[in-house]
Amino acid sequence: MAVLPGLPPRTRKVKVLATLGPASSDPGMIEALLRAGADAFRINMSHGERADKAKLVDAIRGLERSLGRPISIVFDLQGPKLRVGEFKDKSVMLETGQTFVLDLDETPGDATRALLPHPELFETLAPGDRLLIDDGKVRLKALTVAPDRIEAEVVVGGKVSNNKGVNVPDVVVPIPALTEKDRLDLEFALSQGADFIALSFVQRPEDVIEARGLVGDKAALLAKIEKPQAIERLAEILDHADAVMVARGDLGVELPPEGVPPLQNKIVAMARQAGKPVVVATQMLESMIVSPTPTRAEVSDVATAIYDGADAVMLSAESAAGAYPVEAVTMMDRIAASVESDPVYAARIHFTETPSEATAADALSESAAQIARTLTVRAMACFTSSGSTARRIVRERPPVPTIAMTSSRSVARRLSLQWGIHAIHTRDVHSFEDMVGKAKRMALRHAMANANDRLIIMAGVPFGKSGSTNVLHIVRVEGTELDGFDF
């Protein structure tokens, strides 16, 4: 296998997750996004037909085969959506200070009342609780709550039209995170070989546990943190999820805008401490939906997430429906390269402490990162059956890229979303000599090292046994002599 044709390895460590949609459904455009810097693709199940989603998967997997690079696919489930009903005239204008009633009457609404077809809310809300309509553009405060009627004051008026979304930030909504539509979409996503299933509306660890029972080990679970209630139980959610997303859209609706940046920082830090990938998403380069260049504030926003050590930054409508999808991905790539070349970047990403557990794998990973900072080392290389060894290495945010070799195609795909990892699907090794030789060959073939460069190799002996990382080895790419010590 030669160096990948026309697609050199990324020099940056943070990954770019691009959403596919009407503007990026053509196989040629998907390839253009990949070459521009996309490392993984998100398929949003809230919109479109399943047949079209299957075509997207076919196009991605075709590129994966032709370019020889594992590509992660994230299927994003819609989750339960709270909505008002319909209006006689399709919309109404609510005035600040007026009284407005939400009830269970299916009669089309008017300027005094509307259907809220969610009986569980009438059992949960209390006087003083907020109801935010249309992403918070219209804000209500409950005055009285009865089993079939909520009388509310309009705190911020505005236009409300048919089926607009409702957020209730002050309560844990007693509804499951998976609707019947989500369950059908989940079955479809698994049949398409999804690498990650993104769970919307996660409020508690039980939501992730429920999904785990349906998914098993067929895909990794990514919990979208978009409810304030999820923050309160984030540590438990992280225990059960494989990754998390800072979903700043709904999070920004249910919280004051100034409250989102500190929570973003907290979520990124906690995920890194847990060794779980964390994606920062929503409105990162929003203006590029209609403009070929972003605002300076958007560039700073993306840079902040990268300085914090996020594993990936995500494009939503910018790549799915915008006029400049390739330019948006290219800009993400350029921002990341600029940040990672900043001399203070290495110090900034280590502001978050990642204390090691009392395990051989953690001790070796911490030692490997220190060796890479002390010696002139070109890359880390590891053999992993479950991905655990690679995840532990990059949890330390080493200064060099990590080549993760695995015999599992699904593991290679999932690792391609994680910070600093260049994943390679390859045959397993069966001896120490085979391990060293293959690490050198792969580093050369994937242009991750040159002759005479040092590599740090980590693996578990006996080979093929998950969770047995116990070897740290330093070699030079040229020759077979040892240059260092085994631990």
Residue type, 373: R
Q: How far is CA 415 from CA 13, 152, 335, in A?
A: 12, 48, 22
Q: Which helix (H) or strand (E) holds 405?
A: strand 402-406
User: SS3 of 75, please?
Assistant: strand
Q: Give yes or no for residue 104 having a pLDDT over 90.
A: yes
**Helix, strand, coil shares of the chain as percentages rounded to 5?**
35, 25, 40
Task: Look over the chain and give the mean of its residue pLDDT values, rounded to a whole number.
Answer: 91
Identify the domain boundary among 145, 167, 189. Answer: 167
Residue type, 272: R
- Token output for 420: 């600093």
Reported as a single tens digit per residue, the pLDDT across 337-346 is 999 999 999 9
- Token output for 203: 């409020």
* In a shared domain, residues 327 and 384: no
Phi/psi at 163 (5° precision): 60, 25
Note the pLDDT of residue 483: 41
* In a shared domain, residues 207 and 334: yes
Reported as a single tens digit per residue, the pLDDT across 217-271 is 999 999 999 988 899 999 999 999 999 999 998 888 888 889 999 999 999 999 9
Q: What is the mean pLDDT of residues 277-295?
A: 97
Q: Please, which pLDDT band fits residue 4 given cuts at 50, 70 and 90? A: very low
Structural domain contains residue 86 = no
* In a shared domain, residues 97 and 58: no
Q: Give yes or no for residue 464 having a pLDDT over 80.
A: no
* In a shared domain, residues 126 and 75: no
Distance, in Å, from the CA atom of 186 to the CA atom of 52, rounded to the nearest integer, reads 16
Residue 272: give its domain's CATH number: 3.20.20.60
Structural domain contains residue 7 = no
Q: What is the mean pLDDT of residues 21-28?
A: 96
Q: How far is CA 103 from CA 108, 117, 145, 444, in A?
A: 11, 8, 10, 67
- Token output for 142: 């409950």
Q: Give yes or no for residue 2 having a pLDDT over 60.
A: no
Q: Give yes or no for residue 487 having a pLDDT over 50.
A: no
Note the pLDDT of residue 9: 83
Distance, in Å, from the CA atom of 173 to the CA atom of 194, rounded to the nearest integer, reads 28
Residue 416: give its domain's CATH number: 3.40.1380.20
* In a shared domain, residues 122 and 189: no
Structural domain contains residue 436 = yes
- Token output for 50: 């399943």
Q: What is the mean pLDDT of residues 380-385?
A: 90
Distance, in Å, from the CA atom of 140 to the CA atom of 97, rounded to the nearest integer, reads 9
Q: Give yes or no for residue 48 having a pLDDT over 80.
A: yes
Q: What is the DSSP string of 104-156?
A: S--S-B-SSEEE---HHHHHH--TT-EEEETTTTEEEEEEEEETTEEEEEEEE
Number of structural domains in the chain: 3
Q: What is the DSSP string of 210-226?
A: HHHHHHTTSSEEEEEE-
Q: Please, which pLDDT band fits residue 431 given cuts at 50, 70 and 90? A: confident
pTM for this entry? 0.91
Listed residue (381, 388, 431, 423) closest to 406, CA to CA: 423
Give the sheet arrangement for strand 421-425, strand by strand: 421-425, 402-406, 379-383, 454-460, 469-476
Those residues whose C-beta lies under 8 Å from the C-beta of residue 367, and which sit 6 or more positions away, are 472, 487
Structural domain contains residue 297 = yes
Structural domain contains residue 277 = yes
Q: Give yes or no for residue 485 having a pLDDT over 50.
A: no
Distance, in Å, from the CA atom of 181 to the CA atom of 470, rounded to the nearest integer, reads 45
Note the pLDDT of residue 5: 53
Identify the domain boundary among 340, 373, 391. Answer: 340
Phi/psi at 40 (5° precision): -150, 160
In terms of C-beta distances under 8 Å and separation of at least 24 residues, what long-range contacts does 5-8 make, across chains too?
5/67, 6/35, 6/67, 7/34, 7/35, 7/67, 7/69, 8/447
Q: How far is CA 127 from CA 83, 152, 158, 167, in A?
A: 20, 9, 22, 16
Please report, for the chain, how many H helices and E strands are present, in that order.
Answer: 17, 21
Contact 447, 68 (CB under 8 A): no
Contact 248, 264 (CB under 8 A): yes
- Token output for 342: 């900043």
* In a shared domain, residues 32 and 180: yes
Note the pLDDT of residue 476: 92
Structural domain contains residue 249 = yes
Residue 139: give its domain's CATH number: 2.40.33.10
- Token output for 168: 């209730």
* In a shared domain, residues 216 and 287: yes
Note the pLDDT of residue 239: 97
For the four alpha carbons of 14, 20, 23 and 24, in that order, the dihedral sign comes to positive
Q: Which helix (H) or strand (E) holds 477?
A: none
Distance, in Å, from the CA atom of 245 to the CA atom of 27, rounded to the nearest integer, reads 27
* In a shared domain, residues 19 and 121: no
Distance, in Å, from the CA atom of 263 to the CA atom of 323, rounded to the nearest integer, reads 31
* In a shared domain, residues 320 and 449: no
Structural domain contains residue 240 = yes
What region does 158 belong to: left with phi over 0, alpha with psi -120 to 50, or beta?
left
Distance, in Å, from the CA atom of 93 to the CA atom of 137, rounded to the nearest integer, reads 12
Host domain of residue 435: 360-476
Burial of 445 (0-12, 13-18, 19+ CB in 10 A): middle
Structural domain contains residue 381 = yes
* In a shared domain, residues 60 and 138: no
* In a shared domain, residues 289 and 228: yes
* In a shared domain, residues 198 and 315: yes
